[in-house]
Amino acid sequence: AQRVTQPEKLLSVFKGAPVELKCNYSYSGSPELFWYVQYSRQRLQLLLRHISRESIKGFTADLNKGETSFHLKKPFAQEEDSAMYYCALTEGEKLTFGTGTRLTIIP
Amino acid sequence: DVKVTQSSRYLVKRTGEKVFLECVQDMDHENMFWYRQDPGLGLRLIYFSYDVKMKEKGDIPEGYSVSREKKERFSLILESASTNQTSMYLCASSRQVRQPQHFGDGTRLSIL
């Protein structure tokens, strides 16, 4: 069975400080992992996926198979980063989401 | 850009009613999905479809059914609405398996 854990429901960070949103997964196969973001009054959208190794809006995420983690990081938080963030794991047709972390950037 | 359109942003229904939520995508995607989004629970998959007239149960299918008569349209049906089905419902589509999913704006459904 797939399982995605986001241990923090709420996270507050000062503007300009580093951000780390934690995601751990439990899966025996070869995982494909994503981060999705939902800004206020907007639809849920893809932020990044691990196979692309891109940096989107300054965010990066590295897949650590040894620790089964896919933490989302940004060196300097901006006010527009305030949003709901979901980590997700896929194998086959299904996508399993974590419970989400609401990130608030304090001006 | 992919467009996933859900027919209603807000919907209020009464217990026992049969409720239809409609979703249309315009990018010829093979796969379509219905989720419900609840605070503290994240997104949970109700049903998905990987082809016309095909459907698969997700993690929480009880009390729901779906219909996919055309490739672009995926309907979620609450057979007999109950108050515990009050939630935000999200539709999504993807071109192929393991590809990113594109979401609609959601339908906030209240069952009174």
CB–CB contact A94 B45 (8 Å): yes
Type of residue found at A38: Q
CB–CB contact A93 B90 (8 Å): no
Report strand pairing: B56-57 vs B64-70: unpaired
B96 in contact with chain A, both atoms CB, cutoff 8 A: no
What's the confidence (pLDDT) of residue A53?
Answer: 73
Type of residue found at A8: E
- Residue A57, exposed/middle/buried by CB under 10 A (0-12, 13-18, 19+)? exposed
Least CA distance to B103: which residue of chain A?
A: A44
Compute the mean pLDDT over every residue in chain A, rounded to the nearest whole number: 91
Q: What is the dihedral of CA B49, B51, B53, B59, to 10 degrees?
A: -10
Q: What is the dihedral of CA A31, A25, A35, A42, to 10 degrees?
A: 130
What's the confidence (pLDDT) of residue A2?
Answer: 61
Low-confidence ranges of chain B (pLDDT < 50): none
What's the confidence (pLDDT) of residue A65?
Answer: 87
Q: Which pLDDT tens digit goes with each residue over A43-70?
A: 999 999 887 777 789 999 988 888 999 9
- Chain centroid to CA B65: how far? 10
* Alpha-carbon separation of residue A90 from A3, A9, B43, B99, B107 (angstroms): 10, 22, 13, 9, 24
Task: Determine which of A43, A48, A49, A91 to mutate to test the interface with B (most B C-beta atoms within 10 Å).
Answer: A43
What percentage of chain B exceeds 90 in pLDDT?
90
B10 in contact with chain A, both atoms CB, cutoff 8 A: no
**Where residue A1 falls among pLDDT bands split at 50, 70, 90?**
low
Helix H, strand E, coil C: the string for chain A is CCEEECCCCEEEEECCCCEEECCEEECCCCCEEEEEEECCCCCCEEEEECCCCCCECCEEECCECCCCECCEEECCCCHHHCEEEEEEEEECCEEEECCCEEEEEEC
Rounded to whole angstroms, the Cα distance separating A83 from B88 reads 17
CB–CB contact B103 A32 (8 Å): no
Rounded to whole angstroms, the Cα distance separating B44 from B89 reads 10
